[in-house]
Structure 1
Amino acid sequence: MADRTETPTPRRLEEAREQGQVALSREVTSAAVLLAAALLLRGPGSQLGVAFQKVLTEQMAALPQAELTLRTVQQMGFRMAVQILPPLGGLVLALLAVGAMATLGQTHFLWSSKRVGFDFKRVDPVAGFKRIFSARGLVEMLRALLKLVLVGWVTYSFLKGEYPGILALSQFDLPTATQRFFDLLVALALRVGGMYLILAAADYAYQRWDLMRNLRMTKEEIKEEVRRSEGDPQLKGRIRSQMRRMARGRMMANVPKATVVVTNPTHLAVAIQYEEGMNAPKVLAKGAHHTAERIVAIAREHHIPVVQNIPLARAMYKRLEVDDEISPDLYVAMAEVLAYVYRMQGKTPTPARASMDGR
């Protein structure tokens, strides 16, 4: 089996994302929810503490006077629900929103239906046993132990420091003791949430590393993806070659329209057309070596003059493309060639040709 040593390509990452394979840490969600709960209980969610304190005070005051029957208990439960459920419901909805945003933030708002559905392999006891005792299972167990140790240490350290204050709660009246106990719980949640946030950052980095490691590709997979995305290089080469042949064929078909062919004398050939009414001579065809020989051969077949002018041929071949008009700095040299052709053919330059000669 080929070694998977190559970093996954953007296409590979996109395909994995479509399959629902993204870096996702549940610890990030847990830390976000825990910290959000602590912060909300200090702010808008403090009404939950007030409601709980009020219910507890009322129930403690009513206990000596009320006879504990089923109806009495039901009434007490209803009063508690009426006072506690509204602030508790708002807090739960807010925490659900925070948890959802923490998850979607990690996955960049991914929703993949391909990850939804029941997988019988997940309930296979043999497969489950293998997962537990695999390398990944060992890592998960070590992470759970580390989390338990760190969170336990933070909790123990906090409670140890607040132990005298906790014992002193019995000296206060019920509302004050309840409020102080509620504040202690919020402070503990903030401490544990902060530690959880550090663990979550490390866990997300691990999940990201593990995902990239699992998505590594072989050199052959890289080559195959390049072929899929850009096409077979051999096929593309054949297409380019065919296009060049077609362009050369069209170019050769224009040579019979030329007024003159300027050569170098055998290495380069440029077919030039110049007729009355044209702004400047135009390149119909050009080529080197075998193509130049072919241009000269076609020109002679059609009795088109072939003139040797090495500097002019080199300049036009290097600087001009097919269908380009010659540049003004070549007018004089081109006019001399055309004048020679006209004299050789016994023609008298027309006013347009005379104008060209004078440029």
Structure 2
Amino acid sequence: MPDEDQDNSQKTEDPTQKRLDDAFKKGQVPHSREVTSLLMLVVFALIMIWMAPSIMERATLNMTRFIGSAHDFHIDSQSITGISTQVLKSVLFLMIVPVSILILIIYVSSMIQHPIVFSHESFMPKLERISLLKGLKRLFSMRSIMEFLKGIFKITLVAVVGYIVVYPSLNEIINVQNESIMATMLLLLQLATKMMIGVCAFMSVIAVIDFLYQKYEHIKSLKMSKRDLKDEFKQTEGSPEVKAKLREIRNKRAQNRMMQNVPDADVVITNPTHYSIALKYDEAVNQAPVVVAKGMDFIALKIKEVAKENNVPIIENAPLARALYASVELEQEVPFKHYEAVAEVIRYIYKLKGKNNKKSA
């Protein structure tokens, strides 16, 4: 027991997405029974209000017919069987629609709270489920105590709502024996409707609170220690998916850094559309021009776009662009075999800059 407490006290970190996904695959999802109960109660109330006139009419007709022919009624097995069969058919006919809708509501309430999950692990036998010690722990756990208190509160709530609804109509209930069958059933329908509305209103509050509590308990049960986080990272770091994601992030960052170098380039050599190579030459630092950015297709167009925005000269030279793209990496100097071609481009750019400077002067 102390070891478990110590373990739980060390689990201070929120669960990772992987841990949440693993729990979901095992069927461990936050689920509030109060939300399901509320939806069932609301739908049942609506169905009863919708079907009440038909039920009352049928019940009144049967009772009137029975009372009117009471003197012809013979108490024998055949008569009792006939009446029982008729009543059973009527009840089944009236209950088919409500029961079907309530079954659908159970499914819908699960979809509202979380995606539907079918996990074979939740159906697998577990030794802890038949362990007497584990069973006693579950029986006296905080969750069980909360469920017990919640049940007591709901019973008290129904009693209070019943008192609030029934007490003002107490005189009508006492005098109901003097009323017709239809008037009596109307009174009962009114009281039942008021009670359902009151219970649904209070149950809505309970359902919201319980839903938030179940989510909190679910996250709490999946909390991790710092060691758990390290172990999970070691497991996932080697997976192909994580490696691909990290590679994608690194490439994206490298591309962003590369684009930041384009405005400082002296020239961009293009294919003109498939390749773009940005060169920068600083005589005081490098012996030859350095490739500060390069790319194919979309990235090539992006380099040209940034160059235009920053007035960097763009020269179309397809053979040189292809050769530099294939043979020179980023931040590397142009190799000796390309000196002559690159030198001509650089001289041309410097001449352009010189002319522009003279014009501006």
- Return the TM-score normalized by structure 2: 0.65
> Structure 1 residues 208, 65: closer, same or farther in 2, change over 3 A?
same
Q: CA deviation at 1:36?
A: 0.9
**Aligned twin of 2:161:** 154
**Aligned twin of 1:122:** 129
Separation (CA, whole Å) in 1 of partners of 2:113 and 2:130? 27
Q: CA deviation at 1:220?
A: 3.3
> Structure 1 residues 52, 195: closer, same or farther in 2, change over 3 A?
farther
**Aligned twin of 1:59:** 66
> Structure 1 residues 183, 74: closer, same or farther in 2, change over 3 A?
farther
**Aligned twin of 1:217:** 224
Separation (CA, whole Å) in 1 of partners of 2:79 and 2:35? 44
**Aligned twin of 2:283:** 264
Residue identity matched to 2:348: Y
**Aligned twin of 2:212:** 205
Q: For structure 1, which runs of at least 5 residues remain unmatched after alignment?
A: 241-261, 308-323, 336-359
| SS in structure 2 at match of 1:111 | coil
Q: CA deviation at 1:194?
A: 2.2
CA contact (8 A) 1:33 1:99 kept: yes
Q: CA deviation at 1:211?
A: 0.3
Q: CA deviation at 1:327?
A: 11
CA contact (8 A) 1:53 1:179 kept: no
Stretches of 4+ moved more than 6 A in 1?
A: 304-307, 324-329
Is 1:110 the counterpart of 2:107? The answer is: no
Separation (CA, whole Å) in 2 of partners of 1:67 and 1:222? 79
Separation (CA, whole Å) in 1 of partners of 2:338 and 2:35? 83
User: Residues 298-338 of structure 1, C-alpha deviation per residue, up to 9 Å, x if partnerless?
Assistant: x5xxxx6989xxxxxxxxxxxxxxxx989978624499xxx
Is 1:36 the counterpart of 2:43? The answer is: yes
> Structure 1 residues 59, 119: closer, same or farther in 2, change over 3 A?
farther
Q: CA deviation at 1:171?
A: 1.6
Residue identity matched to 1:331: Y
Separation (CA, whole Å) in 2 of partners of 1:270 and 1:121? 71
**Aligned twin of 2:55:** 48
> Structure 1 residues 95, 330: closer, same or farther in 2, change over 3 A?
farther
Separation (CA, whole Å) in 1 of partners of 2:338 and 2:82? 116
> Structure 1 residues 181, 113: closer, same or farther in 2, change over 3 A?
same
CA contact (8 A) 1:155 1:188 kept: yes
RMSD between superposed Cα atoms in Å = 4.0
User: Residues 333-357 of structure 1, C-alpha deviation per residue, up to 9 Å, x if partnerless?
Assistant: 499xxxxxxxxxxxxxxxxxxxxxx
| SS in structure 2 at match of 1:43 | helix
Separation (CA, whole Å) in 2 of partners of 1:231 and 1:327? 48
CA contact (8 A) 1:16 1:22 kept: yes
Is 1:331 the counterpart of 2:337? The answer is: no
User: Residues 87-134 of structure 1, C-alpha deviation per residue, up to 9 Å, x if partnerless?
Assistant: 222222122222221133222233333222455543444433222222
Is 1:71 the counterpart of 2:78? The answer is: yes
CA contact (8 A) 2:56 2:182 kept: no
CA contact (8 A) 1:271 1:286 kept: no
Separation (CA, whole Å) in 2 of partners of 1:203 and 1:209? 10
Identity %: 20
Q: CA deviation at 1:30?
A: 1.2
Q: CA deviation at 1:13?
A: 1.4
Q: Within 5 Å, which residues of 2 pair with 1:155-170?
A: 155-170=162-177
Residue identity matched to 1:213: K
> Structure 1 residues 27, 267: closer, same or farther in 2, change over 3 A?
same
CA contact (8 A) 2:166 2:191 kept: no
Separation (CA, whole Å) in 1 of partners of 2:132 and 2:70? 52
Separation (CA, whole Å) in 2 of partners of 1:327 and 1:91? 87
Separation (CA, whole Å) in 2 of partners of 1:114 and 1:327? 71
| SS in structure 2 at match of 1:269 | coil
**Aligned twin of 1:243:** none
Q: Within 5 Å, which residues of 2 pair with 1:241-256?
A: none
Separation (CA, whole Å) in 1 of partners of 2:329 and 2:131? 74
Q: For structure 2, which runs of at least 5 residues remain unmatched after alignment?
A: 1-6, 251-280, 292-315, 353-361
**Aligned twin of 1:18:** 25
Residue identity matched to 2:288: A
**Which of 1 and 2 has greater Rg?**
1
Q: CA deviation at 1:195?
A: 1.6
Q: Which deviates the most, 138-147 or 46-55?
A: 46-55
Q: Which deviates the most, 128-137 or 51-60?
A: 51-60
Separation (CA, whole Å) in 2 of partners of 1:199 and 1:287? 63
Instruction: Count residues in correspondence.
Output: 285
